[in-house]
Amino acid sequence: MSESSTPPELEYEQNTLKRLLGFMIGGPNRSKFAMGVLLRVVALAGLTVIPWTTGRAMNVITEFGGTDELRSWALIGLVAGAIYLVFSFVSDRMFSKMAVDGLYGVQTALFENVQSLSMGFFFKNPPGRLSSNITNDAEVVSLFYTSAVSQMIRSAIQVVMVLVVMLLIDWRLTVISLVTIPFLLGAVYVITRVASPAFRRLQQALGDASGFQEETLSGHKLIISKGRGDWAVDTHDVLIRDVHKEGSRAFLASLMQFPITQTLTLFQNVLVMLGGTFLVIAGHTTVGIVMSFSGYAALLASPLAQISNLITNALNASAGGKRVFEIVDAEPDVSDAPDAVDYEFKGGRITFEHVDFGYRPGTLVLRDNTFDIAPGETIGICGPTGAGKSTLINILTRYYEITGGRILIDGQDLSKLTQESLRSQVGAVLQEAFLFSDTVMSNLLYARHDATEDDAIDAAKKANAHEFIMDLPQGYDTVLAARGANLSQGQRQMITIARAMVADPKIMILDEATSNVDTRTEKLIQDGIRQLMADKTSFSIAHRLATIRDSDRIMVLNGGEIVELDSHDTLMRNRGFYYALYMSQFKGKGPEGSPEEFALDFVST
Ligand SMILES: Nc1ncnc2c1ncn2[C@@H]1O[C@H](COP(=O)(O)OP(=O)(O)O)[C@@H](O)[C@H]1O
Ligand SMILES: [Mg+2]
């Protein structure tokens, strides 16, 4: 803990707020901010003139002064009011523009970092939890930018200006006006102390509940088919009860502040009138001045009463901002080496030298794998579920760092290459087809910066996706539902394949890319893929062995080790694992024998 009396938690909140503010009023917005504050000062100067003119006008009336004087005070009041309105408008506009900049800055930072994070991060943070956090937290952060910051500045300026004017006019009335202020601030402090931790817990509870909602929604088919509906409802009930409990505590505390501050403000007005009457009788001041002070007291109390709102808002924003920054600051599991260089494509030779890999320390999923793939070779990969096929792809695309050995790509050590250069040359269609909630066209174009719509349509035709895309309500402009839910799994796979084709990578990887389409469609897609891969190094993991049968070589994985790597014909002649596997898939159609027995413990995914 630091030497100051600030508790560490509060200090952390201050840092988060400072960082949030930086996006809004830091950097290029600094001068805009200064200008906005200046305009606000002018606006509030107009506002502070108004009670003064009312007071003077009142004096003219009580002293039976001329109508000319009255008219000029009215005019000054009107001009002051106009200044207040116009300058407030201009400075509000500036602040709202800065608020948008702030929001944009945070969102961009968030999005950019999420892009750079490796797969490991997403395994640790389920997507439901992630996106609900981002939505809820972005909301409180947005509220901070759009209203709290500009209100805080307005309140601070208003309090200082009004106080100075009051002191200049009459110190005795100023003291009377200030009597209730400590009570007001005390009430505000207590309310904030109760409400803000409650709000933080509410935010957390909301995040948990909506994370669960999203998970159950995306898994609803499974939940229904497994009859786990009751379980989902019960779990949800518990989470919602949490939201309810925390919510009622948080809102009760913050609702109480209005009646309390309202009462105190009224009381303050009564005190000013009462004290003012005595001072007028004693001849120390005039009725008009007392009138002015009644106005000033209100102008002083209202921003102070609002401070509780603003503090609550700032604390919420800091809690939300803290979680947003956790993601912004999350370090990718795989990061570029300090001396990383760009991958230079030289044909696409891939060499594994005694490669070991485990997701967790102590357990190896891939063990001592050594092989060499020549440039332009097509490799089919097969093996039982859990053999490590997808894992092999994950380390080849460097979503994970290997534990031992070396992977060379065109003679260059994979671990010394920049991830970006690698991703632009190595295209992967992974097991989970990922699509953005955007139009089909955008999803296709996302693959390559300079791709044209014609490229996209061309690729869709090759991937056999063009026809069904044209049948969608708006064709290529159809917006896909979240995670592509309005398409069948096979259709999603076809779009992701088309997307990979748009990217036109030098090395291509397909992980069960056509596992969800029927055999006839698969054949059509395969023709397209074959064209695309004609002279490229490629790997395809396939469920149906017929899909990879024509590969130059077939890699057979079992228990994290490569047990066979040869052409289909050779492997069939050798009568090893592959042979057994193949025969089991072509039961009855095979040339001879009954290898089922052997095949039982060897079923490919
Ligand atoms: N993200 C992960 N974290 C921990 N273990 C994993 C992860 N992904 C896969 N595994 C484990 O690694 C092994 C190989 O999985 P995988 O490569 O997906 O198999 P395949 O694709 O051949 O079916 C399995 O035992 C699986 O449980
Ligand atoms: Mg797999």
Same domain, 71 and 219: yes
Same domain, 287 and 354: no
Place of tokens 């200082």: 160
Task: Report which bound ligand comes closest to the CA of 512.
Answer: 2
Same domain, 97 and 15: yes
Q: Which two tokens stand for residue 236?
A: 């949800």
Q: What distance in Å separates the CA atoms of residue 393 and residue 380, rounded to the nearest whole number? A: 12
Q: How confident is the model at residue 597 (pLDDT cuts 50, 70, 90)?
A: very low
Residue 89 CB less than 6 A away from ligand 1: no
Same domain, 275 and 412: no
In this predicted structure, the answer to whether residue 10 has a pLDDT above a threshold of 80 is no
**What is the DSSP code (8-state) at residue 27?**
G
Residue 90 lies in a domain: yes
Res 134: pLDDT: 67
User: How do beta strands 366-373 and 350-357 pair?
Assistant: antiparallel
Q: What distance in Å separates the CA atoms of residue 91 and residue 158, rounded to the nearest whole number? A: 14
Angle between helices 171-178 and 229-281 (to 10 degrees): 150
Amino acid in the structure at residue 257: Q
Res 484: pLDDT: 55
Helical residues (DSSP H) of 63-170, grouped into ranges: 67-116, 119-124, 127-143, 149-169
Average pLDDT over residues 6-11: 60
Average pLDDT over residues 191-195: 77
In this predicted structure, the answer to whether residue 333 has a pLDDT above a threshold of 80 is no
- Backbone torsions φ then ψ of 414, nearest 5 degrees: -55, -35
Under 8 Å between Cβ of 353 and 370: yes
Q: What distance in Å separates the CA atoms of residue 380 and residue 375, rounded to the nearest whole number? A: 15
Q: Give the chain's domain count.
A: 2
Same domain, 139 and 87: yes
Which atom, in ligand 1's list, is nearest to the CA of 560? 14
Quote the mean pLDDT of the chain.
Answer: 83
Q: What distance in Å separates the CA atoms of residue 321 and residue 492, rounded to the nearest whole number? A: 35
Per-residue pLDDT tens for 371-395?
999 999 999 999 998 999 989 988 8
Same domain, 179 and 314: yes
Q: Which two tokens stand for residue 248?
A: 């009622």
Where is average pLDDT lowest: 180-184, 435-439, 460-464? Answer: 435-439
Residue 542 CB less than 6 A away from ligand 1: no
Residue 386 CB less than 6 A away from ligand 1: yes
Residue 342 lies in a domain: no
- Among residues of the chain, what percentage have pLDDT more than 90? 37
> Is 212 exposed, middle or buried, given 0-12, 13-18 or 19+ CB atoms closer than 10 A?
buried
User: What's the CA dihedral at 82, 85, 86, 91 to 10 degrees?
Assistant: 150
- Residue with the smallest CA separation from ligand 1 atom 19 is 386
Q: What distance in Å separates the CA atoms of residue 388 and residue 605, rounded to the nearest whole number? A: 11
Per-residue pLDDT tens for 516-557?
778 887 887 787 788 778 788 999 998 788 888 889 999 999
Q: Which of 266, 299, 329 is the last residue of a domain?
A: 329
Q: Which of 329, 359, 389 is the last residue of a domain?
A: 329
Q: Which two tokens stand for residue 165?
A: 């004017």
Per-residue pLDDT tens for 82-100?
999 999 999 999 999 998 8
Which atom, in ligand 1's list, is nearest to the CA of 431? 21
Place of tokens 């009930």: 237
In this predicted structure, the answer to whether residue 461 has a pLDDT above a threshold of 80 is yes
Average pLDDT over residues 445-459: 87
In this predicted structure, the answer to whether residue 321 has a pLDDT above a threshold of 50 is yes
Residue 322 lies in a domain: yes
- Higher-scoring residue by pLDDT: 215, 296: 296
In this predicted structure, the answer to whether residue 292 has a pLDDT above a threshold of 90 is yes
119: containing domain: 8-329
Residue 389 CB less than 6 A away from ligand 1: yes
> Is 242 exposed, middle or buried, given 0-12, 13-18 or 19+ CB atoms closer than 10 A?
middle
- Reading phi first (left if > 0) and then psi (alpha if -120 to 50, else beta), residue 362 is in left
Cα-atom radius of gyration of the chain, to the nearest Å? 35
Same domain, 272 and 307: yes
Res 590: pLDDT: 43
Q: What distance in Å separates the CA atoms of residue 459 and residue 448, rounded to the nearest whole number? A: 12
- Residue with the smallest CA separation from ligand 1 atom 7 is 359
Under 8 Å between Cβ of 278 and 161: no
Q: List the CATH number of the domain containing 532.
A: 3.40.50.300
Paired strand residues for 382:
556
In this predicted structure, the answer to whether residue 508 has a pLDDT above a threshold of 50 is yes
- Higher-scoring residue by pLDDT: 130, 62: 62
Same domain, 157 and 44: yes
Measured in angstroms, how far is the CA atom of residue 399 from the centroid of ligand 2?
14
Same domain, 368 and 407: yes
Amino acid in the structure at residue 306: Q
Res 595: pLDDT: 43
Res 12: pLDDT: 64
Mean pLDDT is highest, among 56-60, 115-119, 320-324, for 56-60
- Higher-scoring residue by pLDDT: 69, 139: 69
Residue 359 CB less than 6 A away from ligand 1: yes
- DSSP H or E stretch at residue 497: helix 489-503
Q: How far is CA 139 from the centre of its chain?
A: 11
**What is the DSSP code (8-state) at residue 387?**
S
Residue 298 lies in a domain: yes
Residue 480 lies in a domain: no
Residue 25 lies in a domain: yes
Res 598: pLDDT: 41
Residue 109 lies in a domain: yes
Average pLDDT over residues 577-583: 91
In this predicted structure, the answer to whether residue 195 has a pLDDT above a threshold of 80 is no
Q: List the CATH number of the domain containing 29.
A: 1.20.1560.10
> Is 331 exposed, middle or buried, given 0-12, 13-18 or 19+ CB atoms closer than 10 A?
exposed
Q: What distance in Å separates the CA atoms of residue 29 and residue 103, rounded to the nearest whole number? A: 13
Where is average pLDDT lowest: 25-34, 139-148, 386-395? Answer: 139-148
Residue 365 lies in a domain: yes
Q: What distance in Å separates the CA atoms of residue 39 and residue 349, rounded to the nearest whole number? A: 65
Measured in angstroms, how far is the CA atom of residue 361 from the centroid of ligand 2?
21
Q: How confident is the model at residue 122 (pLDDT cuts 50, 70, 90)?
A: low
DSSP 425-494: HEEEE-SS----SSBHHHHHHTT-TT--HHHHHHHHHHTT-HHHHHHSTTGGGPBPPGGGTTS-HHHHHH
Q: Which residues contact 577 (CB under 8 A, 6 or more apart)?
A: 556, 558, 563, 564, 602
Q: How far is CA 299 from the centre of its chain?
A: 40
In this predicted structure, the answer to whether residue 356 has a pLDDT above a threshold of 60 is yes
Res 596: pLDDT: 43
- Residue with the smallest CA separation from ligand 1 atom 10 is 359
Cα distances (Å, whole numbers) of residue 98 to 91, 133, 530, 601:
11, 24, 52, 64
Residue 387 CB less than 6 A away from ligand 1: yes
Same domain, 371 and 321: no
Under 8 Å between Cβ of 538 and 508: yes
Residue 123 CB less than 6 A away from ligand 1: yes
Same domain, 225 and 276: yes
pTM: 0.56
Residue 391 CB less than 6 A away from ligand 1: yes
Q: Which of 122, 123, 359 to mutate to test the pocket of ligand 1 (most atoms within 8 A of CB)?
A: 359
Same domain, 45 and 131: yes
Per-residue pLDDT tens for 394-450?
888 887 889 999 999 999 999 999 887 887 888 888 776 677 777 899 888 877 778
Residue 258 CB less than 6 A away from ligand 1: no
Cα distances (Å, whole numbers) of residue 76 to 80, 386, 555:
6, 83, 89
Cα distances (Å, whole numbers) of residue 442 to 108, 449, 473, 601, 605:
19, 11, 16, 44, 32
Average pLDDT over residues 179-184: 90
Q: Which of 294, 329, 364 is the last residue of a domain?
A: 329
